[in-house]
Every structure is written in structure tokens, then in C-alpha cells.
Amino acid sequence: MGTEDPEICARIRLELELRESVSNPPTNISFGPVSDEDMFHWQGIIIGPVDTPIEGGLFHLSIRFPIDYPFNPPKVQFQTQAIEMLVKNQATSHDQKSK
């Protein structure tokens, strides 16, 4: 039994997840690799759901996967400032309520 290169395993996993998202796309979100050359850097868009404060908004994400994915999570960064502030405000509000 040989050991697999973690980067190769992560790349295979990401390719499988991408194929799954294409054949069964999620609602209100789109994502995929920025280029064919770098499977570890993706971009995404979240569309604000109906009947929410962010309805109709387009919120851009940068997603960077580590070479040992899925054993470590991706780093996700909002590229759209308004949603980043909303998420931080909701997290702060939740933290204050739980005290």
C-alpha cells in the first residue's frame, strides 16, 4: 500500500466536487476554479436569497484550498465589502447575545 501525495489527492477531490456541482448545481451560489492551471484557487458568487435583507445582491468570494484539502478547510474571503460587514455584524451580535 503506497502513500498518496496529498496535493494529488486534494486535486482529485476538488475535481470530483466540481463535477458534482456542475451536474447538481446548488441554489443561489456559483463557484469554480479561477483557471484550469490552478485547481486550488476558486471564485464564487452568492446571490442574495428572496425575502432576506440581501435579496438580489451579488456577493463575490475568493476561495483558496490548502494542498491537504479536505483535511483542512479552504480560506474564503468576501470580495464584496457589504456582505463582509453584514457577516461580521451578525457574528458580533450573536456573540453578544450568548454572553
Model confidence pLDDT, tens digit, residues 56-84: 889 999 999 999 999 999 999 999 876 55
Q: Could you tell me if residue 37 is inside a domain?
A: yes
Nearest-angstrom CA–CA distance, 47 and 16: 24
pTM for the full predicted model: 0.75
Q: Would you say residue 55 lies in a domain?
A: yes
Q: Which domain holds residue 39?
A: 6-97
pLDDT in the model for residue 30: 95
Domain assignment of residue 86, yes or no: yes
Give the cell for residue 68.
Answer: 491537504
**pLDDT at res. 1:** 46
